[in-house]
Amino acid sequence: MKIRKGDTVEVIAGDDKGLRGTVHRVIPGRAVLRGRAKKGQRQVAMDPNRTRVVVSGINLVKKHQRRTGDVRTQVGIIEREAPIHISNVALVCPHCQKATRVGYQVLETGSKVRVCKRCHQTID
């Protein structure tokens, strides 16, 4: 996954274009595969095209929260973040502070790290 929880990202499309925030949550997309599944089972695979992220302060929606039995539930109109499609955000490089594309580099230890395509510094 090129974008992870805790990353700073910049919105590159939509109403919040140009804004930056921190990734709270990555919601991996799942696709149900057709055929070849055993009876009663569904074959499910990762679908990167459906992956969404929740970013602090980005894509705010007003939610009308009805009173529930739970007194801890905030009632009324609540503004909260809605998930945004991962293709609409770009990672902000912690080194050059620019919105960038992400590459990968395999270390001698065999582990893979993310690399900024602009300044070529490792991100992780």
CB distance 50 to 61 below 8 Å: no
At position 23, the amino acid (one-letter code) is: V
**Residue 76: strand pairing partners:** 65
Instruction: Confirm or reject binding of residue 89 to Zn ion (CB under 5 A).
Output: no
In the complex, what is the shortest distance from the CB of residue 98 to Zn ion, in angstroms, rounded to a whole number? 6
CA 29, distance to chain mean position in Å, is 10
How does strand 84-85 pair with strand 52-55?
Answer: antiparallel
Instruction: Confirm or reject binding of residue 93 to Zn ion (CB under 5 A).
Output: yes
Q: Which of 31, 37, 75, 96 binds Zn ion (CB under 5 A)?
A: 96
Segment near Zn ion (CB under 5 A); pick from 44-52, 73-81, 94-102, 106-114: 94-102
Segment near Zn ion (CB under 5 A); pick from 25-33, 41-49, 56-64, 85-93: 85-93
At position 98, the amino acid (one-letter code) is: K
Instruction: Confirm or reject binding of residue 119 to Zn ion (CB under 5 A).
Output: yes
Is the CB of 2 or the CB of 85 nearer to Zn ion? 2
Count the alpha carbons within 13 Å of 69 in the hemisphere toward its beta carbon. 0
To which H or E segment does residue 55 belong? strand 52-55
In the complex, what is the shortest distance from the CB of residue 74 to Zn ion, in angstroms, rounded to a whole number? 39
Instruction: Confirm or reject binding of residue 101 to Zn ion (CB under 5 A).
Output: no
Please give the residue ranges that form the binding site for Zn ion (CB under 5 A).
93, 95-96, 116, 118-119
